């Protein structure tokens, strides 16, 4: 007799299959949630540069290129324009202060002087004529007063005599009155002549004062214009070396045009061009140094030219001590210009990584040296050799400092030996 065999719901084989499937699913989910999902790139160690973060003294400086120039240069500019008539000296010669270098000719200036001299002569004649007229007027009045005084004296005598005769009724009253009127008329004429002379004298004095002031101004103006003739002769303003002379016989030069320069060769300084980005940080007294003839020489910023051309401005630097032997005008020097004081800092060597990251992150190697992971950092000051690290790195850590252009956006670099 057959008997019904009850089928088992969870045979061992089924349990094993389901267990393995569940375990696989758990592993997949775990990897998705908690596993390393960062992108990786294999990189050959020989093709990268690895630098070690260190701690040590740091000084911020920038490299600039300077030229050796004379300690003092005086430019020769045309104070007055004109045509080059004579060249007394040639460029490259030594000159003493006051030596003639060039002579210019200016016909318009000569004509102006002649015109002013004519005006001055005319004004001088006017002043002379006014003074002569005043003197003639004085003499005429004096002569008129003498005549009036004589007539008044005669009329006064006649008036008194007729007055006595009238009392005795020896003359008519009409005859007496005529004599009296003549006497009083001439007295008034005399008073009027004196008043007229006073007014005329006052006017003449004012006129003479104005003419004298005008004449004085004309004389000063003429002297000023004549002094311009002296400016047509270009002389050496100082003793030194006539480095350049840009003027040929017959050439016309405008007022203010540069004609040449005289250099004082008793000393030298360095003129360097600095990027405009550093303008706010450059000040007098900043130190720098450059190498020459096997030695290092210190210089300091002495003068700043704030005018910016092509994104750069100039500074003059002078030697702290004596000038190095053998230095010559025109030599080029590579200067390390210091922008800050010496301080202790965490240092990262410069490299091509900065072009891509801007100093915001780097690839840092782990302890095994097999991987390099991306890490955010913050950099501070810099010089041509080092960056100052403010955050994100510690001394002893190793960083890839070569270019990151071929790494893409991968988070982890797997370092492989060739």
Percentage of the chain beyond pLDDT 70 is 90
CATH superfamily of 62-104+242-338: Efflux pump adaptor protein, beta barrel domain (2.40.30.170)
User: Which position has the higher pLDDT, 211 or 395?
Assistant: 395
Domain chopping of the chain, boundaries: 37-58+342-416, 62-104+242-338, 107-231
Residue 22, pLDDT above cutoff 70: no
Per-residue pLDDT at 24: 62
Per-residue pLDDT at 78: 87
User: What is the rounded distance in angstroms from the CA atom of residue 377 to the CA atom of residue 389?
Assistant: 8
- The stretch 314-336 carries a mean pLDDT of 85
User: Which position has the higher pLDDT, 34 or 217?
Assistant: 217
CB-based contacts of 94, cutoff 8 Å, min separation 6: 239, 240, 241, 242
Confidence of residue 1 (pLDDT cuts 50, 70, 90): very low
Confidence of residue 28 (pLDDT cuts 50, 70, 90): low
Backbone angles phi, psi at 211, to 5 degrees: -65, -40
Per-residue pLDDT at 30: 52
Transcribe 88-154 into DSSP letters. Answer: -S-TT-EE-TT-EEEEEE-HHHHHHHHHHHHHHHHHHHHHHHHHHHHHHHHHHHHHHHHHHHHHHHH
pTM of the model: 0.50
CA distances from 11 to 6, 18, 21, 24, 415 (A): 12, 11, 16, 20, 50
- The stretch 400-405 carries a mean pLDDT of 91
Third-level CATH fold of 107-231: Helix Hairpins (1.10.287)
Per-residue pLDDT at 15: 64
Residue 26, pLDDT above cutoff 70: no
Average pLDDT, the chain: 82
Residues 251-284: tens digit of each pLDDT: 888 888 888 888 887 788 899 998 888 888 888 8
User: What is the rounded distance in angstroms from the CA atom of residue 325 to the CA atom of residue 305?
Assistant: 28
- The stretch 398-417 carries a mean pLDDT of 89
CB-based contacts of 96, cutoff 8 Å, min separation 6: 236, 239
Burial of 406 (0-12, 13-18, 19+ CB in 10 A): exposed
Cα four-point dihedral sign 167, 173, 175, 176 = positive
Per-residue pLDDT at 6: 53
Per-residue pLDDT at 363: 93
Residues 120-143: tens digit of each pLDDT: 777 777 777 777 777 787 788 778
Do 180 and 156 form a contact (C-beta atoms < 8 A)? no
Percentage of the chain beyond pLDDT 90 is 12
User: What is the rounded distance in angstroms from the CA atom of residue 59 to the CA atom of residue 289?
Assistant: 13
User: Which position has the higher pLDDT, 35 or 284?
Assistant: 284
Backbone angles phi, psi at 117, to 5 degrees: -65, -40
User: What is the rounded distance in angstroms from the CA atom of residue 372 to the CA atom of residue 366?
Assistant: 6
User: What is the rounded distance in angstroms from the CA atom of residue 212 to the CA atom of residue 225?
Assistant: 20
Strand 295-309 to 312-319 pairing:
antiparallel
- The stretch 368-387 carries a mean pLDDT of 88
- The stretch 136-160 carries a mean pLDDT of 80
Q: Which CATH number fits domain 37-58+342-416: 3.40.190.10, 2.40.420.20, 3.90.850.10, 3.40.120.10?
A: 2.40.420.20
């Amino acid at each position: 007799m057959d008997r019904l065999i009850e089928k088992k719901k969870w045979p061992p084989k089924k349990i094993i299959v389901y267990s393995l499937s569940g375990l696989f699913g758990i592993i997949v989910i775990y990897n998705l949630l908690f596993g390393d999902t960062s992108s990786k790139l294999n990189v050959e160690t020989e093709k990268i540069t690895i630098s070690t973060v260190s701690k040590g003294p740091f000084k911020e400086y920038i490299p600039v290129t300077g030229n050796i120039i004379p300690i003092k240069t005086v430019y020769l500019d045309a104070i007055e324009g004109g045509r080059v008539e004579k060249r007394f000296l040639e460029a490259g010669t030594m000159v003493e202060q006051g030596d003639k270098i060039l002579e210019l000719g200016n016909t318009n200036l000569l004509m102006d002087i002649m015109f002013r001299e004519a005006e001055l002569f005319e004004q001088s004649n006017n002043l002379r004529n006014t003074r002569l007229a005043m003197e003639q007027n004085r003499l005429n009045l004096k002569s008129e007063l003498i005549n009036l005084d004589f007539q008044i004296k005669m009329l006064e005598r006649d008036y008194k005599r007729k007055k006595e005769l009238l009392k005795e009724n020896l003359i008519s009253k009409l005859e007496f009155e005529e004599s009296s009127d003549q006497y009083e008329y001439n007295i008034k004429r005399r008073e009027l002549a004196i008043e007229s002379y006073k007014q005329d004298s006052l006017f003449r004095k004012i006129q003479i004062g104005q003419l004298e002031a005008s004449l004085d101004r004309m004389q000063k103006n003429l002297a000023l214009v004549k002094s311009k003739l002296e400016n047509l002769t270009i002389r050496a303003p100082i003793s030194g070396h006539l480095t350049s002379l840009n003027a040929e016989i017959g050439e016309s030069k405008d007022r203010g045009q540069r004609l040449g320069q005289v250099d004082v060769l008793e000393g030298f300084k360095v003129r360097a061009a600095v990027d405009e980005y550093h303008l706010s940080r450059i000040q007098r007294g900043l130190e720098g140094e450059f190498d020459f003839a096997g030695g290092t020489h210190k210089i300091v910023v002495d003068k700043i030219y704030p005018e910016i051309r092509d994104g750069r401005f100039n500074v003059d630097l002078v030697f702290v001590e004596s000038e190095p032997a053998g230095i010559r005008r025109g030599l080029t020097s590579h200067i390390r210009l210091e922008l800050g004081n010496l301080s202790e800092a965490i240092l990262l060597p410069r490299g091509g990584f900065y072009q891509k990251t801007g100093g915001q992150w780097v690839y840092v190697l782990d302890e095994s040296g097999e991987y390099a992971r991306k890490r955010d950092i913050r950099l501070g000051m810099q010089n041509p050799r080092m960056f100052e690290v403010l955050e994100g790195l510690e001394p002893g850590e190793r960083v890839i400092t070569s270019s990151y252009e071929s790494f893409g956006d991968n988070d982890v670099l797997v370092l492989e030996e060739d």
